[in-house]
Structure 1
Amino acid sequence: MKLRKTHSIAAFLVFLFSILLLPPPSYALIATVKGIVSKVSDGDTLHVITEKGKDLKIKLYGCDAPEIEKRNKRTGQITIPGQPYSEEAKQALKKMIYKKRVRVDIIDIGRHHWMASLIWLKKRCINLEMVREGYAEAYRERLKQPYYAEFSYTEQQAKFRKKGIWGLSNYERPSEFRKRLRIRGS
C-alpha cells in the first residue's frame, strides 16, 4: 500500500511541476464546432455532422487506440489483422458519444483531411477518458503543450491500475504495430 501511495504522489508531483515549468502554449485552436456523432470507425476515429450539415472526419487528439482489423469491402476478407483490445476501444467510444451532441475543438488538420480534435460531451473530455480507461494511449509523438503533461499523467495512472490495454501481457503500441505492418499512419 505504501508503494502505491508513494507512486501516486510522485506521479502527481511530476505532473504539477511539468505544468508550472512549461512555457505557455504555442498553438491556437483552428475552430470550435458543434455537431452530432454520426459514426465511430475505431477507438480514435469518428465522424461528426456539424450544425451546418458538414461531415467531419475526426481523430481524437492526443490518443492512439489499438488498430482495428481492415477488411476488403468487396470480398469481406481480412486484409490487415487487428490488435488486441481494438474492438473494445471502438465500442467504448461508441457507447460514450454515438448519436450524441458534442463540441469539437479542432487543433490540427491532417494531410488526409481528418481533423485532430478534442471532443467534449458537456464538460467531459472524451479524449482523456479514453486514455484514463485504458482504451487508448497518450500519443506523445503528436501531443503539444498544454496537453502533453495531462495526457501523460493520465496514461501513467491507467498503466499503474492496469486498465484496458495496460492489463495486456503482450501490448504493442499502435504506432509500432503500423510500422511493423507498414500501415499508413493514422
Structure 2
Amino acid sequence: MRVSLLIFCLLLFALPASSQTSIQGKVVSVADGDTITVLDKSNRQHKIRLYGIDTPEKRQAFGQSAKKYTASLTAGKAVKVIAYDTDRYGRTVGVVMVDGINVNRAIIKAGYAWQYRKYCKESFCKDWLQLEREARVSMRGLWDFSGDPVPPWEWRKGKRSGKSSGEKTNSVYTASAPGTYHGNVKSHVFHDPSCRHYNCKNCTETFQTRDGAVAAGYRSCGQCDP
C-alpha cells in the first residue's frame, strides 16, 4: 500500500507544469501584442508571454496595431492563464482565456500574429498555423497589404547582429539583409534594400550583387537602382 502511494506521489509531481499551473487575475498592462501583465488576488504581478504566437515588434510595421488588438481583448479584464513554461526572462508563457475566448488563437485569427514555429509544439498548434494561412489569404490584420512582412523572430535576429532591418516607420517593407537584391519572379524586376517594393509579394528570388541579378535575367527596377 505504501509503495503504491509512493508511486502515485512520484507520478503526480512528475506531471508537467502546464497540467497543474494556472494564474487568475486582472490585466493591468499590455506591453505589446504578445506580452501582458496580470495582477492576481494577492496583488502579485505576473508578466505573461502568450504561448505559441509571435506578434510584430513595436518598431515593426503593425506592431502598434497588434498591441491595440491585444489590449482590446484583455486590458482591464479578468483572465485565466494556463501556464506552459517560463522563458529566460522569467515570464510565464501561457494561453490566456477571457470569457471563454482563447486570446492567443484570436490574435492569430485576426491576422496580428504568426504561429511561433520554433516554440509552438502543442497539438493545437496545427490549427493555429492554418488560422494564420487563412488570415493571410483573407488579407486580415498585418496581411492587408501587397508585400510580405518579415516575421518578428527574423527581425530580432537582424537587430542582434547589428544589421539594419531596412524597415521604415511608415512602411510594411523590411529588408532581410542590406546589400542583397530581391527579384520579382513574375516580372523579373529586381529591387535594392532601399526600395519600397523590396519585399513585394513575388519578390522571392535573392541576389548578393546587382550583376548577379542581371546575369540571372532580371532587370533593374529603375526607381530604386538606376
Same fold flag (TM > 0.5): yes
Q: For residue 31 of structure 1, what is the aligned residue in structure 2? A: 21
Contact 2:17/2:83 (CA < 8 Å) preserved in 1?
Answer: no
Contact 2:33/2:66 (CA < 8 Å) preserved in 1?
Answer: yes
Q: For residue 141 of structure 1, what is the aligned residue in structure 2? A: 118
| Matched AA of 2:85 | D
Equivalent of residue 177 in structure 1, options 140, 155, 172: 155
| Matched AA of 1:181 | K
Instruction: Note the 1:158-169 alignment, pairs <5 A.
Output: 158-168=135-145, 169=147
Q: For residue 106 of structure 2, what is the aligned residue in structure 1? A: 129
Equivalent of residue 49 in structure 1, options 36, 39, 42: 39
- The 1:28–1:151 alpha-carbon spacing in structure 2 relative to 1, beyond 3 Å, is farther
TM-score (norm 1): 0.74
Structure of higher CA gyration radius: 2
Q: CA deviation at 1:149?
A: 1.1
Cα displacement string for residues 49-91 of structure 1 (whole angstroms, at most 9, x for unaligned residues): 01222100101111100001xxxxxxxxxxxxx1000000001
Where is the helix percentage greater, Structure 1 or Structure 2? 1
Q: CA deviation at 1:27?
A: 5.4
| Matched AA of 1:38 | V
Q: Aligned partners of 2:159, 2:91: CA distance in 1, in Å?
A: 22
Equivalent of residue 63 in structure 1, options 53, 58, 71: 53
Q: CA deviation at 1:147?
A: 2.4
The total of aligned residue pairs comes to 145
Structure 2, unmatched stretches of 5+, are: 1-14, 162-226
Q: Aligned partners of 1:180, 1:33: CA distance in 2, in Å?
A: 34
Cα displacement string for residues 107-155 of structure 1 (whole angstroms, at most 9, x for unaligned residues): 1101110111100001100000100001111101100122221211111
Q: CA deviation at 1:164?
A: 1.2
| Matched AA of 2:104 | N
Structure 1, unmatched stretches of 5+, are: 1-25, 69-81
- The 1:156–1:27 alpha-carbon spacing in structure 2 relative to 1, beyond 3 Å, is farther
Moved over 3 A (4+): none
The percentage of counterpart residues that share the same residue type is 28
Instruction: Note the 1:94-133 alignment, pairs <5 A.
Output: 94-133=71-110
Q: CA deviation at 1:173?
A: 0.4
Which structure has more relative contact order (CA 8 Å, sep 6+)? It is 1
Q: CA deviation at 1:156?
A: 1.3
Q: Does 1:93 align with 2:83?
A: no
Contact 2:38/2:47 (CA < 8 Å) preserved in 1?
Answer: yes
Contact 2:17/2:85 (CA < 8 Å) preserved in 1?
Answer: no
